Amino acid sequence: MRTSIAAALFRHLILATGAVLMVLPFVLMVSISLKTEGEIYHPQFSLLPTSPDGIENYVAAFAMQPLWRYLLNGVLVCVGIFLAQALFALPCAYALAKLRWPGRNLTMAFVLLGLLIPPQVPAVPVYIMLWKFGLLDSYAALILPSAISVFGIFLMRQFFRTVPDDLISAARMDGLSEVAIVWRIMLPTAIPGLIAFGILSVVGHWNDFFWPLIAIQTPELATPALGVMFFVTAEAGTNFGRLMAAATVVNAPLVIAFLIAQRWFIDGLTMSSMK
Amino acid sequence: MAEISIANISKSFAGTIILEGVSLDVANGEFLTLVGPSGCGKSTLLRIIAGLEHQDSGTIAIAGSSVDMKAPKARDLSMVFQSYALYPYMTVEENISLPLTMRRMGTLQRLPLLGGLLPGAGAIRREIAVEARQVAESLGIAHLLSRRPGQLSGGQRQRVALARAMVRQPQAFLMDEPLSNLDAKMRVKARAEISEMHRRLQATFIYVTHDQIEAMTMSDRVAVMMHGRLLQVDPPQRIYDEPKTLEVARFIGTPEINVLPGTVRHDGAIEVFDKIWPVVVDAGRHAPVSVAVRPEVWEVAQQPGEGSLLTGTVRHIELLGSETLLHVSFAGSAASVVARVEPTVATRYRLGSPIHLAVDPARILVFTENGKRAATLTRSVPSQVRNLHG
Ligand SMILES: Nc1ncnc2c1ncn2[C@@H]1O[C@H](COP(=O)(O)OP(=O)(O)O)[C@@H](O)[C@H]1O
Ligand SMILES: [Mg+2]
């Protein structure tokens, strides 16, 4: 009895340490964003701001840079990418999971291979291609390179494989076309997976700094992560209070979205355990 | 309503031959049952008829014209699957009406919100809803229309699957073991319901099962299939009484037919366990044969009589209520037989009782070494048998 309590304590201690380490940067971010410059450089550290003047940082952040514009760009780009990814991944996953055609296994091998390649590797050829097409420094430059996700194809295929073949046969007898089968029969079985994938995709592209940095010159096209960095390079030097305020604003939509969707997210990624 | 003609269908999967030259004509309005052990290719044949699978060679014709180039939906057949294959994310009503919506409404009209605004869409939808409800009522599932398949019992799901197949009044119904996921009691009921459905619709049915009782009780004709070939296609009683091969004889009937080793004597008479049996066969002399007798054909006696052919010991007694099965073994042989007798007759026997078995000679089946029914089978009365012996 006593050992099990000790074990539980130990477990919780480890988990709590991990949780604190994870949350600490965010706590500091919010804390600094609410402090005035004087408070930030004060030798006595305190988590909570001592005066309400720190709110100034937020006002200044919105005034200095078009933060709303960055957020809107983020929404446009992330939604665009996710829709394109779903549009490609669902039919591909159906073909890989349920249709018999020569070269299917080879194609699947390429999909798995694609999972292993980090996006930075093809960045230069993709950049050159966009330049040749004259698409650099546009929304297309932000969306097109991510429009096909091998991870999305792979995840949807894993879901589709669990759909009984008889269901597809029945749909064909009932007069559904292959396209209708994908949207009306297969997609509903994979909704939790699609939501989980959507969250991963949106978070990834919302926070992506690398690709917007090389693809975008015009500040008005900046995504949130890139926009935040404009606070660093601004001529007045780094104002940490405003930088952190901008970072908090940029992170908030994701945190809120995740809190709303977390049940589906967990369902979607643990689907293997539910048969 | 149409006849279906299956001509010389062959199919292999990855080099393994699954169907080998299967030919079969199903008449308009006929209830034909395709029966055979698991894995013999029944589902594959059904899927080829439906167009869900492509044959390597051969032709399928429906109502006189070939459908080999037609997609499943163009063949106008309905299929009921073993797993029912109901769409899990649709209600029962949506499941039943989907075949009609797909056929009667255009792509735009089917769109969830926008479609309703198009001219005619609402009227078609209402008409479909009425038809779906009628079919559901005829199967007693109208109260389930708003549920999802996951909320239904096995029997209810099976009816929804039937309703979905019935609703568009197809040329013919294909059913792949639709009762094998039901418990024994439900199955008996569902058998009667499907037979009734066939009588009412007067449609062509091709019904696949591995259960020979379903085959016997429901069909106009039974096609027995093994190792990808059709062994015999005949009305049920004829399959039972006159099986063409030993495999068919063994597969049809429970308990299984009794098979004893025999030999053909020089005069054509059959000898089993050193005793002459009252049958003469036109088969190779001195060849080993299999002598087969249905369990209910045995006449049992406590004392040896005129026609006694076998003398054995009761080894096991199975009470089934309406009848009793006596398992009989013979000294000096590994063979044993089962006799199906009236319970009142059975009470005369205990485990270990001696028992004498006689047979109506007309009902003895003889199969040659290669499993074929012996070409001619003449009957002889017991007195002639004694003559042969002497
Ligand atoms: N798509 C397929 N690919 C490979 N083998 C198959 C396929 N479909 C069926 N088979 C094989 O064909 C044989 C017959 O299957 P099936 O027609 O389902 O038999 P039954 O319905 O009589 O039980 C089985 O051995 C099965 O493994
Ligand atoms: Mg089968």
* Per-residue pLDDT reduced to its tens digit, B312-361: 999 999 999 999 999 999 988 888 999 999 999 999 999 999 999 999 88
Sign of CA dihedral B280, B284, B286, B289: negative
Nearest to B257 by CA among B216, B223, B290: B290
What digits encode the pLDDT tens for the residues B230-247? Answer: 999 999 999 999 999 999
In the reported structure, the alpha carbon of residue B148 is separated from the centroid of ligand 2 by a whole-number distance in angstroms of: 26
Residue of B nearest to A165 (CA): B85
E strand or H helix at B193: helix B184-201
Q: Given this model, what pLDDT does residue B388 score?
A: 41
Based on its alpha-carbon atoms, the radius of gyration of chain A, rounded to whole angstroms, reads 23
Q: What is the CATH number of the domain that holds A144?
A: 1.10.3720.10
Residues with CB under 6 A from ligand 1: B 13-14, 18, 36, 38-44
SS (H, E, C) A106-149: HHHHHHHHHHHCCCCCCHHHHHHHHHHCCCCCCHHHHHHHHCCC
Contact A104, A236 (CB under 8 A): no
Query: A140-174: buried (b, 16+ CB within 10 Å) or exposed (e) per residue?
Result: bbbbbbbeebbbbbbbbbebbeebeebbbbbbbbb
Distance CA B384, CA B8 (A): 47
**With an 8 Å Cβ cutoff, are B50 and A164 in contact?**
no
φ and ψ at residue B335, rounded to 5 degrees: -70, 150
From residue A248, alpha-carbon distances to A23, A45, A69, A230, A233 in Å are: 13, 20, 16, 15, 18
What digits encode the pLDDT tens for the residues B106-158? Answer: 887 787 777 777 777 888 889 999 999 999 999 999 999 999 999 999 999 99
Maximum C-alpha span of chain A: 76
- From the centroid of its chain, how far is CA B79? 17
B382: pLDDT confidence band, cut at 50, 70 and 90?
Answer: very low
What digits encode the pLDDT tens for the residues B290-301? Answer: 999 999 999 999
Query: A220-254: buried (b, 16+ CB within 10 Å) or exposed (e) per residue?
Result: ebbbbbbbbbbbeeeeeeebbbbbbbbbbbbbebb
**With an 8 Å Cβ cutoff, are A169 and B50 in contact?**
yes
Residue A42 lies in a domain: no
Task: Spell out which residues of chain A touch residue B50, defining contact as CB-CB under 8 Å.
Answer: 169, 173
Average pLDDT, whole number, for chain B?
A: 90
Closest residue CA from atom 7 of ligand 1 = B13
Classify residue B339 as exposed, middle or buried by CB count within 10 Å of its CB (0-12, 13-18, 19+): buried
Contacts A–B by Cβ distance under 8 A: 54
Residue A26 lies in a domain: no
The structural architecture, per CATH, of the domain B255-387 is Beta Barrel (2.40)
Q: Residues of CATH 2.40.50.140 domain(s) within chain B?
A: 255-387
Which strands, in side-by-side order, build the sheet including B172-176? B77-80, B172-176, B204-209, B31-35, B221-226, B229-234
Residue A251 CB-half CA count within 13 A? 12
Residue A156 lies in a domain: yes
What digits encode the pLDDT tens for the residues B255-293? Answer: 999 999 999 988 888 889 888 888 888 777 888 999 999
Report DSSP state, residue B91: -
Q: Given this model, what pLDDT does residue A234 score?
A: 55
Distance CA B289, CA B373 (A): 10
Supply the range of the domain harboring residue A254.
Answer: 55-272
Report DSSP state, residue A172: H
Q: Where do the H-state alpha helices sit in A34-135?
A: 37-40, 56-64, 67-98, 104-116, 123-132
Which atom in ligand 1 lies closest to the alpha carbon of residue B14? 4
Q: Look at residue A274 and tell me whether its pLDDT is greater than 70.
A: no
Residue A45 lies in a domain: no
Distance CA B346, CA B355 (A): 11
Q: Would you state the structure tokens that stand for residue A4, as one six-digit string?
A: 């099990």
| Cβ within 8 Å of A, B 12-51 | 47, 50
Task: Spell out which residues of chain B touch residue A164, defining contact as CB-CB under 8 Å.
Answer: 83, 85
Distance CA B20, CA A197 (A): 47
Share of chain A above pLDDT 70, in %: 94
> How many residues are given for chain B?
390
**pLDDT mean over A95-112:** 96
**With an 8 Å Cβ cutoff, are B73 and A185 in contact?**
no
Query: B270-296: buried (b, 16+ CB within 10 Å) or exposed (e) per residue?
Result: bbbbeebbbbbbebeeeeebbbbbbbe
A1: pLDDT confidence band, cut at 50, 70 and 90?
Answer: low
Residue A120 lies in a domain: yes
A30: alpha, beta or left? (left if phi > 0; alpha if psi -120 to 50): alpha
More confident residue, B171 or A46: B171
Q: To test ligand 1's pocket by mutation, which of B17, B20, B43, B225 has the most ligand atoms within 8 angstroms of CB? A: B43
Q: Which residue matches tokens 């006694």?
A: B308
Domain B4-246 falls in which CATH fold?
Rossmann fold (3.40.50)
Is B108 in the A-facing interface, judged by CB distances under 8 Å? no
Distance CA A60, CA A246 (A): 9
Pairing relationship of beta strands B269-272 and B258-264 according to DSSP bridges: antiparallel
Q: Is the pTM of this model over 0.90?
A: no
Give how many domains chain A has, as a whole number: 1
Residue A46 lies in a domain: no
Q: Given this model, what pLDDT does residue B378 score?
A: 58
Distance CA B194, CA A236 (A): 84
Q: Residues of CATH 3.40.50.300 domain(s) within chain B?
A: 4-246
Q: Given this model, what pLDDT does residue A271 score?
A: 56
**With an 8 Å Cβ cutoff, are A174 and B83 in contact?**
no
Task: Spell out which residues of chain B touch residue A184, defining contact as CB-CB under 8 Å.
Answer: 87
Q: Name the amino acid, one letter, at A97.
A: A
